[in-house]
């Protein structure tokens, strides 16, 4: 595997901290290139704050033929991408990507831009400064009363603290919350009910494969999750499904969008509005420019496979050894 595997390391710079567990704005990852002629591409973008193996260690293991969740899924992506490029086809042909919510920072201008772009659902990360976040949500909910909210606690708070936070929001704002995500302490292996405090739908993201209970929304991240088994379980249990990017490189975004489009085609009515449009969280680059201005509709880049043909060819690649 090592002889046919090359990498391109990159750094994305976020406009702010991206979740309650992160205190950095520079986010390192690596694109992988597999093959000798008909290359396929994938993305490894660890979030060590959330339990992922660090990038350097992930690449060291990959060079030794040992896989993490991220590198295994990146290789799957690269294989599928390579097959499509070899056949000269675009992976998105015949597929429709589900609409997305806007993943936003706590910033007035970001909310105005999202509403102007047509987003009707927003997702924000909470749990860093509950008082400030509660006040901000109140202001935006007052200014944009038609917005639906998705609140991601990233496993930073226990359920009692979540309940107090929701109480402070008041009934009017709570009535506009679509779901709350990972609203329990990380690594507590909870039995997650379908409805949480104030009968707000509970969503599970981290460790979705092993989560138990009747939670109502399954968050699938193709960067780390094998999609089909989770989809089948969700269909059997009557759960809504939301596929999201890993807040990673646009190549990784496109892989998530492709998996979401396939899921929507194979399971009509199961896939809800997704979280695939995240390139606006970072300083622009040539790849994000190819995706266009963030809107609820995901616009795949032109080309073969997942796209970005010329951009990927122009990158400096280094053999992994």
Quote the pLDDT of residue 57.
98
Please tell me the distance from the alpha carbon of residue 242 to that of residue 276, in angstroms, as a whole number: 10
Quote the pLDDT of residue 209.
80
Quote the pLDDT of residue 167.
94
Quote the pLDDT of residue 2.
47
Quote the pLDDT of residue 188.
56
Q: Using an 8 Å Cβ cutoff, are 222 and 242 in contact?
A: no
Least Cα distance to 157 among 147, 168, 170 occurs for 168
Coil/strand/helix, residue 127 = coil
Q: What's the CATH number for 2-89+309-319?
A: 3.30.390.10
Fold agreement (2-89+309-319, 102-291) = no
Q: List, for the chain, all residue ranges whose pLDDT scores fall below the cut of 50.
A: 1-2
Instruction: Tell me the per-residue pLDDT of 198-255, one tens digit each, with 9 for 90 and over.
Output: 999 999 987 788 777 788 999 999 999 999 999 999 999 999 999 999 999 999 999 9
Quote the pLDDT of residue 50.
83
Please tell me the distance from the alpha carbon of residue 59 to that of residue 267, in angstroms, as a whole number: 35
Instruction: Tell me the per-residue pLDDT of 163-178, one tens digit each, with 9 for 90 and over.
Output: 999 999 999 999 999 9
Parse the chain into domains and list their residue ranges. 2-89+309-319, 102-291
Coil/strand/helix, residue 172 = helix
Please tell me the distance from the alpha carbon of residue 91 to that of residue 229, in angstroms, as a whole number: 21
- Name the pTM for this structure: 0.94
Quote the pLDDT of residue 3.
52
Pick the CATH number of 102-291 from 3.30.70.1230, 3.30.43.10, 3.20.20.120, 3.40.50.2300: 3.20.20.120
């Amino acid at each position: 595997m090592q002889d046919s595997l090359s990498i391109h390391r990159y750094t994305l710079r976020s406009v702010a901290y991206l979740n309650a567990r992160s205190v950095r704005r520079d986010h390192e990852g690596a694109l992988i290139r597999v093959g000798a002629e008909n290359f396929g591409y994938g993305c490894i973008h660890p979030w060590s704050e959330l339990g992922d193996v660090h990038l350097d260690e992930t690449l060291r293991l990959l060079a030794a033929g040992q896989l993490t969740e991220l590198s295994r899924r990146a290789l799957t992506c690269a294989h599928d991408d390579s097959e499509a490029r070899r056949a000269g086809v675009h992976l998105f042909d015949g597929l429709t990507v589900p609409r997305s919510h806007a993943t936003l920072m706590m910033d007035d201008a970001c909310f105005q831009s999202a509403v102007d772009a047509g987003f009707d659902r927003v997702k924000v990360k909470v749990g860093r400064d509950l008082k400030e976040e509660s006040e901000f949500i109140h202001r935006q909910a007052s200014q944009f009363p038609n917005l639906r909210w998705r609140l991601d606690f990233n496993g930073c708070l226990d359920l009692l603290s979540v309940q107090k936070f929701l109480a402070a929001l008041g009934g009017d704002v709570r009535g506009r919350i679509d779901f709350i995500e990972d609203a329990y302490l990380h690594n507590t292996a909870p039995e997650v009910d379908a409805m949480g405090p104030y009968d707000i739908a509970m969503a599970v993201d981290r460790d979705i494969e092993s989560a138990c209970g009747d939670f109502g929304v399954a968050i699938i991240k193709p960067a780390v999750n094998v999609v089909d088994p989770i989809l089948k379980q969700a269909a059997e249990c009557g759960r809504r499904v939301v596929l999201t990017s890993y807040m990673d490189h646009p190549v990784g975004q496109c892989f998530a969008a492709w998996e979401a489009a396939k899921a929507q085609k194979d399971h009509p009515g199961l896939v809800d509005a997704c979280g695939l449009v995240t390139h606006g969280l970072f300083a622009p680059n040539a790849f994000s420019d190819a995706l266009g201005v963030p809107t609820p509709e995901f616009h795949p880049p032109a080309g073969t496979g997942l796209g970005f043909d010329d951009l990927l060819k122009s990158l400096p690649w280094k053999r992994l050894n």
